[in-house]
Structure 1
Amino acid sequence: MEGIAIEKRNLDKTKQELIVEKEGKVEGDGKQQESESGGVEENVKKDGVQESESKNGKEQNSNEKAMQKEGDNGKEQNSDEREMQKKGDNDGGDAEEGGHKTVKKGAETEGTRPGQGKAKESDPFAYTKREEFTSENFKIELRGLPRHYSVADLKKLLNETLQLGAHKVKPAGHRKNWAYIAFRDQPARTRAMEVLRGYQWKKATFSVTTAKPVEDPLVKRMGERGNRTNKGEEDKDGDSQMSIAERVTKSVTPLAHLSYSQQLEKKQKDVHHILRKFGSDLAHTNPKLARLIQWQKVRRGGQVCEVDPIVPSPQIDGYRNKCEFSIGNNPETGQATVGFRVASYKAGSMCVAPVSHLKNIPLKMKEVVEEFEVVVRESGLAPFSPLTHEGVWRQLTVRTSLTGALLIIAMIHPQELTETVLGELKQTIVQHFTEGSGVHVGVKSIFFKAYAQKERGGQQPLQHLWGDHHLTETILGNTFRVSPDAFLQVNTLGAEVLYQHVGDLANLDPSSVLLDVCCGTGTIGVCLSKRCAKVYGVELVPEAVEDARHNAETNGAANMKVWTGRAEEQLGQMLSHCRELRTVAVVDPPRAGLNSSVVIGLRRCSELERLVYVSCDPASAVKNFLNLGRPESKQYQGSFFFPVRAIPVDLFPHTPHFELVILFERWDKEKWTKIMEGNPLPRDEEYFKRIPSLQEGKYGPAKHKNGSDSNTKRVLDDENCGEAEAKKTKSE
């Protein structure tokens, strides 16, 4: 550790010289200490947990991550949505105590360096003045976009057709006809403005202006909190009166105070709300389905399809097999802490809270966190601050399996550390868990990643330091190899229940072929391979594809083949192997859902009869659901799909999240006409007459008794009509 200590003093000296140069003066005797308080990288997800619930292994694309790192936080993800992008003030000021950095409580506000005050951190645009690259300095506002377009199509226009080299593309919002485009330098922005001004695309004409950078969300929120305090306003959320442990519990496991039966009841209501709204939107999108949707609602309590009771998780506590822990300062103790953010950077916090009390984390994982915290504190190196971009320690990822194996990934910012010091740091981590006080935990694999803030985390490969190269997990009697970064459902026992229901809805037989879209490590395909003739999978992440192929071979799934690449690009080749076979698709996409081109490709596959959609965020996936059910058009060719049955499965106890599995079937007018005619209810026509011209399939305005204009959607949005009719029919 001697080399690390020397290097740390050198870094402090270098930073001191830079401060003197920038400020033009030396405060005191020139021995100004650098505050290294802070948090972790800006794109670490809220609470450190929810990314994997949003498909953390299938991350958001790198451009979206970069946007977050550069302060462009208008997004929802990912990623993803992928454990934790996912509230608190942190006091600063450095002191050496017990061989590690601590922070004097009350000395400074969160992220402020001693001796400098708040000048730098009070400027929400300070990040644009650093020497580090940010595309926020080279942004334009592109207006006049067509009413219907996809971000993928716009990116293709900018970077392939026009060769403009756009660095980021960010739509302004739903139904808004402009977007923000960022570039890498001023010449690129100037050229883009010249090319795009007056350019015509999809019968629309562009206009373009320069755009201002967005405010740093943390600095902005800190300023807002200060203004509220000055005005004597109370904290609406009451967070300022809560302990750090209470705040992180509220953020990470907000349902933990409820009994498990109460949690399930709440999630069931959420499912009903989402599907009820989806049904109304689908009737508006496809008038041909309006009568059937109303028929379903009358019989199914206002729902567009049959909805099963939520399936509980087999394991309620300690179920997570992967967590990404932030490394930052605990505002109550002032010490470097490995845990979860109490809120996101966007929400205005870098505070990190301990996790030993959280119900969803297994005991072994908590022990790893405690031991890694020892390494961090004894190193003398501070956590990385997304506000000042100082500090080293970023994040700790821990994965475990039902076999008890533990894999860890340590992530740092290299700053100006030499290769020698980096080597000592790696050796320290390995020794602690293989020979030191952390050996009792039983870590089997250790990985390391060093990357700077201006780089994308995914660009730097993981370095294997010690132990096994993969994790092994068992699901439904099959053995799976899982790479450090690969996606796997975070609740293994819950995943077994989920896959069983997916298989039941798929209704596979020896004459069918399964398309496993976004297959990850091949878990769904392998588990269902014995039920069908062929399994064709596609996955974007190369390491996951290697795992999927290995897993297919290991488990004897010789009928399974996996392609590497984007689903929208590989789907055509996959479908060419499905001729004259009954085709069923299972899609398990990231949090944001499928690219629209994938939905278009699936609809064009005439052999595809059934589609099982697995969503960890149904509210975000509704766009996909609607596109599956749109009327046939030039863009959406092929007969549309209709939702038949939905099964919610709880994979995330103590949180609001759940998986929703929906079975869609290709539209069969003759089949549904017979079903409707064969199962009449006394008041069917009474409801149908409320929908104008419904029998002709028209969807226009109607005059109600009060003379106001309305339409079918207004009728279908009546949430109580189906429930009331169902109760009345039952009583009769």
Structure 2
Amino acid sequence: MEEEIEAPMTVESSVEPSKEEMETPMTVEPSADRKKEEKGYLARDEYTSERFKLEINNLPKYFGFGDLKKKLKQLGVNFVKIKVPKTPNHAYVNFRNEEDKEKGLKLLTGWSFRGNRIEVSHAKPATDILFRTGKPKKNDNKREHPAENPADADLPDEVKIQNSATPLWNLSYAEQLAKKSTIVQEFLGGLEQKIKETSSKTVTIPFEGIKPSPVIDGYRNKCEFSCGKGNNSDDKMVGFRYGEYRYGIDRVGSPSVCKNVSDEMKLVVQHFQDYIRSRTSSWYSGETHIGCWRQLTVRTSRLNHILIMISFCQGQLSPEEIEEEKKIFLNYFTQGAGSICKVTNIIFNVEKNKAGNELIQSELLLGDSYIVEKLFDFQFHVSAKAFFQANTQGAEVLYSLIKDSMKLDNETVLLDICCGTGTIGITLSNSVKEVVGIEMIKDAVEDAKRNAKLNNINNIEFIAEKIENVINKLVKKYSQHRLVAILDPPRAGVHRRVIQTLRSAENIKVLGYIACNPQLATHNLVDLTRPRSRNYQGEPFEAVTTTAVDLFPHTPHYELFILFQR
């Protein structure tokens, strides 16, 4: 899966309360609405371990972080991370999912650590940083932006936005590839060590290097741009939020300096900004939940399609006023100054002014609800919110790598697990006997079926189901064929039940794993290789080769393809 970063995150995905927050007495009980706003990031469609957290109390007065981590592992607690605040005898443990959290609760209940009987309970998610009220920090009054990272305070805004959106922008492309190659090798070294810890066997995972992106600048085919206030109090800025959110910064900078954004997108952003500045309605504030213009999503394709989707909060406007706004907006981009952008599709979403931005109306103002993208010789319908690799030409490099590494032929049956809208299975369908795509999200499966029909692919089947519910039937059905699997999961990987299921499917001898965030997927990679046991039946897989593909130039992100065999 793509490392889905359309703009710098405006809420850290997992944060703990500061010492000041815990110690500062509350003089007024926050309202229910205020409490909801403080946890508004939980309503977003993104993974955060803040949803699955336990609080541990009555720890020994002096204990080391590493010691606590080791003890929890020995207990069998499957945690994501541990946070130890400055408050004594106290810690937080975050988990990947509800099941792991509940298991951790059972294992920790009644546990004694160095003679102390541990108290464990469910913990509330941390407060969004912008809503924290701590004591003023020393020298805050000396800064133009008190919450700003002191190291960045004197940098020009153009540098700040590039540092935030494209952290590797000031390196040559050769230097970027070298840096990422080092990052991958360091990760593989750590993975080798973890595999050794579980199997007592020394392993070496070969690394075949990193494949460059065919296009380095302007490669993103989708970006999400926020509306807000600029650094110099410029109102109704459209671009990326930047600055360290942990320092309380919530400003918007122009993407005009960002190398990963295409000229076509930059032109749309500029004209959208000009348009909303001409209107009386204000930009939407995620802190106060006041205002209208919240977000602009832009999708482009190699076939010269440009889709824009507007997120507009209703504010105090009447339905009639909103309808008038739509008409003026449509005219601007079809007949007015914005027509130079040659937008082909416009979706106008109206949302409630509240945390979570509840959609109350979505209207297609121009064109279809999707654009058409070309990948190799195939075409795909891509809707505004659908997952599609952000770097189309880079995706072709990745999919070609998969085809060559797995030695696909007309005797092979390919299981495309977490198939999404079917891009991998469809592009590889000409190289195999049959493809079976498995995806638990039904809407994605419907998109995949439409894309297969669009390309006249007849040797492909898509199943809307969990892999553990269908794998045994599929293994039996294709017992006389060469059965291989490709696993392209979300960035946090899949639940261990999926790995256990694949381990037990003895007919699957070859498995390809695509990791867009290898660190988060480590638990999957280790479980594929751990020795046979009651929980992990079937022979373990062995990582025989790894190759990185740079789908995200100017950023630290990459895709890692790992080929497993047994």
Structure 1 length-normalised TM: 0.63
Asked if structure 2 preserves the Cα contact closer than 8 Å seen for 1:513 and 1:582, the reply is yes
Asked if structure 2 preserves the Cα contact closer than 8 Å seen for 1:125 and 1:215, the reply is no
Measure the CA separation in 1 of the matches of 2:25 and 2:343.
Answer: 43
Shift of 1:580: 2.9
Shift of 1:599: 1.2
Shift of 1:504: 1.1
For 1:480, the equivalent position in structure 2 comes to 380
Shift of 1:365: 0.6
Shift of 1:562: 1.1
For 1:74, the equivalent position in structure 2 comes to 15
For 1:605, the equivalent position in structure 2 comes to 505
Gaps (5+ residues) in structure 2? 17-23, 40-50, 58-71, 85-90, 112-118
User: 1:116-127 alignment to 2 at 5 Å?
Assistant: none
Shift of 1:148: 3.7
Shift of 1:226: 4.7
For 1:317, the equivalent position in structure 2 comes to 217
Asked if structure 1 preserves the Cα contact closer than 8 Å seen for 2:227 and 2:295, the reply is yes
For 1:54, the equivalent position in structure 2 comes to 3
Q: 1:218 aligns with which of 130, 136, 150?
A: 130
Residue type matched to 1:398 in 2? V
Per mean C-alpha deviation after superposition, the further-off stretch among 401-410 and 588-597 is 588-597
Measure the CA separation in 1 of the matches of 2:109 and 2:506.
Answer: 33
- Rg (Cα) greater in structure: 1
For 1:26, the equivalent position in structure 2 comes to none
Shift of 1:345: 4.1
User: 1:567-606 alignment to 2 at 5 Å?
Assistant: 567-569=467-469, 571-572=471-472, 574-575=474-475, 577-606=477-506
Measure the CA separation in 1 of the matches of 2:308 and 2:507.
Answer: 44
Shift of 1:328: 0.7
Residue type matched to 2:561 in 1? V
Asked if structure 1 preserves the Cα contact closer than 8 Å seen for 2:147 and 2:248, the reply is no
Shift of 1:276: 1.1
Measure the CA separation in 1 of the matches of 2:305 and 2:451.
Answer: 18
Over 3 Å counting, the alpha-carbon distance change for 1:426 and 1:128 in structure 2 is farther
Shift of 1:637: 1.7
Q: 1:266 aligns with which of 174, 179, 187?
A: 179
**SS across alignment from 1:323:** strand
Asked if structure 2 preserves the Cα contact closer than 8 Å seen for 1:371 and 1:438, the reply is yes
Over 3 Å counting, the alpha-carbon distance change for 1:343 and 1:553 in structure 2 is same
For 1:501, the equivalent position in structure 2 comes to 401
Measure the CA separation in 2 of the matches of 1:248 and 1:359.
Answer: 11
Cα shift readout 1:23-65 (whole Å, capped 9, x = no counterpart): xxxxxxxxxxxxxxxxxxxxxxxxxxxxx951469xxxxxxx9
Per mean C-alpha deviation after superposition, the further-off stretch among 423-432 and 654-663 is 423-432
Q: 2:326 aligns with which of 416, 421, 426?
A: 426
**SS across alignment from 1:563:** strand
Measure the CA separation in 1 of the matches of 2:312 and 2:255.
Answer: 20
**SS across alignment from 1:241:** coil
Asked if structure 1 preserves the Cα contact closer than 8 Å seen for 2:349 and 2:359, the reply is no
Over 3 Å counting, the alpha-carbon distance change for 1:451 and 1:637 in structure 2 is farther
Shift of 1:577: 3.8
Over 3 Å counting, the alpha-carbon distance change for 1:319 and 1:203 in structure 2 is closer
Measure the CA separation in 2 of the matches of 1:139 and 1:544.
Answer: 26
Measure the CA separation in 2 of the matches of 1:611 and 1:345.
Answer: 39
Over 3 Å counting, the alpha-carbon distance change for 1:209 and 1:481 in structure 2 is closer
Measure the CA separation in 2 of the matches of 1:72 and 1:393.
Answer: 24
Asked if structure 2 preserves the Cα contact closer than 8 Å seen for 1:651 and 1:659, the reply is yes
Residue type matched to 1:214 in 2? A
Measure the CA separation in 2 of the matches of 1:320 and 1:180.
Answer: 32
Shift of 1:339: 0.1
**SS across alignment from 1:308:** strand
Over 3 Å counting, the alpha-carbon distance change for 1:227 and 1:574 in structure 2 is farther
For 1:240, the equivalent position in structure 2 comes to 153
User: 1:334-349 alignment to 2 at 5 Å?
Assistant: 334-343=234-243, 345-349=245-249
Cα shift readout 1:65-90 (whole Å, capped 9, x = no counterpart): 9xx98x98439xxxxxxxxxxxxxxx
For 1:112, the equivalent position in structure 2 comes to none
Asked if structure 2 preserves the Cα contact closer than 8 Å seen for 1:128 and 1:136, the reply is no
Over 3 Å counting, the alpha-carbon distance change for 1:622 and 1:73 in structure 2 is closer
User: 1:362-511 alignment to 2 at 5 Å?
Assistant: 362-452=262-352, 454=354, 456=356, 462-511=362-411
Over 3 Å counting, the alpha-carbon distance change for 1:314 and 1:133 in structure 2 is same
Structure 2 length-normalised TM: 0.81
Measure the CA separation in 2 of the matches of 1:625 and 1:73.
Answer: 23
For 2:559, the equivalent position in structure 1 comes to 659
Shift of 1:461: 7.1
Residue type matched to 1:266 in 2? K
For 1:62, the equivalent position in structure 2 comes to none
Greater RCO between the two (CA within 8 Å, min separation 6)? 1
Residue type matched to 1:358 in 2? C
User: 1:626-637 alignment to 2 at 5 Å?
Assistant: 626-637=526-537
**SS across alignment from 2:429:** helix
**SS across alignment from 2:286:** coil
**SS across alignment from 2:256:** coil
Measure the CA separation in 1 of the matches of 2:368 and 2:33.
Answer: 40
Measure the CA separation in 1 of the matches of 2:553 and 2:29.
Answer: 39
User: 1:275-314 alignment to 2 at 5 Å?
Assistant: 275-287=188-200, 289-290=201-202, 293=203, 304-314=204-214
Residues 1:229 and 2:229 aligned together: no
**SS across alignment from 1:134:** helix
Asked if structure 2 preserves the Cα contact closer than 8 Å seen for 1:529 and 1:559, the reply is yes
Residue type matched to 1:254 in 2? P
Shift of 1:595: 1.9
Residue type matched to 2:523 in 1? K
Per mean C-alpha deviation after superposition, the further-off stretch among 235-244 and 388-397 is 235-244
Measure the CA separation in 2 of the matches of 1:456 and 1:572.
Answer: 39
Asked if structure 1 preserves the Cα contact closer than 8 Å seen for 2:299 and 2:306, the reply is yes
Measure the CA separation in 1 of the matches of 2:374 and 2:179.
Answer: 31
Shift of 1:557: 1.9
Paired residues, number = 513
Shift of 1:132: 5.8
Residue type matched to 2:209 in 1? P
Shift of 1:427: 2.2
Shift of 1:260: 0.8
Shift of 1:405: 0.6
Over 3 Å counting, the alpha-carbon distance change for 1:520 and 1:347 in structure 2 is farther
Residue type matched to 1:486 in 2? A
Asked if structure 2 preserves the Cα contact closer than 8 Å seen for 1:405 and 1:443, the reply is yes
Shift of 1:415: 3.0
Over 3 Å counting, the alpha-carbon distance change for 1:180 and 1:335 in structure 2 is same
Shift of 1:590: 1.5
**SS across alignment from 1:599:** helix
User: 1:2-41 alignment to 2 at 5 Å?
Assistant: none
Asked if structure 2 preserves the Cα contact closer than 8 Å seen for 1:143 and 1:179, the reply is no
Asked if structure 1 preserves the Cα contact closer than 8 Å seen for 2:502 and 2:508, the reply is yes
User: 1:660-679 alignment to 2 at 5 Å?
Assistant: 660-666=560-566
Residue type matched to 2:420 in 1? G
Measure the CA separation in 2 of the matches of 1:243 and 1:521.
Answer: 41
Asked if structure 1 preserves the Cα contact closer than 8 Å seen for 2:228 and 2:284, the reply is yes
Over 3 Å counting, the alpha-carbon distance change for 1:177 and 1:130 in structure 2 is closer
For 2:31, the equivalent position in structure 1 comes to 129
Shift of 1:449: 2.2
Shift of 1:135: 9.6
Residue type matched to 2:180 in 1? K
Measure the CA separation in 2 of the matches of 1:229 and 1:200.
Answer: 41
Measure the CA separation in 1 of the matches of 2:194 and 2:368.
Answer: 50
Residue type matched to 1:467 in 2? G
Residue type matched to 1:656 in 2? P
Shift of 1:177: 8.3
For 1:255, the equivalent position in structure 2 comes to 168
Cα shift readout 1:560-579 (whole Å, capped 9, x = no counterpart): 11122454555455545433
Shift of 1:253: 1.1
Measure the CA separation in 1 of the matches of 2:131 and 2:82.
Answer: 22
Asked if structure 2 preserves the Cα contact closer than 8 Å seen for 1:599 and 1:628, the reply is yes
